Amino acid sequence: MSDQTAKATFGAGCFWGVEATFRQIDGVTSTAVGYSGGSKDKPTYEEVCRKDTGHAEVVEVEFDPGKVSYEELLRVFFENHDPTTLNRQGPDVGTQYRSAIFFHDEAQREAAEKAKAELDAAGRFPRPIVTEITPAQTFWIAEDYHQRYLEKRGLSSCHIGTQSHGEPS
């Protein structure tokens, strides 16, 4: 990470789709999918899916704050998943799919809490937002086959109908 970039870490369900969404934003310099917020060092996808580790599927976003603000990344985060469902996004159920913002500094924490409170107060969603806002922990990069997963396969989303994404074949 250079002096001109910052990091943001978000959990919003299937990390394949979340990564694809953030990669499209001007000012995002790189993304990586992985795991954060759990108790095991170097978790594998299988361990996270078994719910053995407490990790969330996350995307670590490196961005140029001169081109895109953290507040804009928060807007994209909240607009591209349902932050009112606890441990679920669409057909994907489990703590690894929780809505989470892992802040890297006090300014990110304040911005995340403000965005969440403003959206709740505005009634933007039919239910209260359950997104957890916690300090960034170790980011464990996911296995290589998960990186840019949808892009590698020419897909635009994680789901077809109501099918869960599951283990790739």
Q: Which of 33, 47, 35 is nearest to 136 (CA)?
A: 35
- Known active-site residue 14: yes
How far CA 120 is from CA of 74, 83, 110, 129, 166, in Å, comes to: 14, 10, 15, 6, 32
Return d(Cα 26, Cα 41) in angstroms, integer: 33
Write out the two tokens for 16.
Answer: 């394949």
Return d(Cα 118, Cα 116) in angstroms, integer: 6
Which of 6, 14, 59, 101 is catalytic? The answer is: 14
Question: Which positions are annotated as active-site residues?
Answer: 14
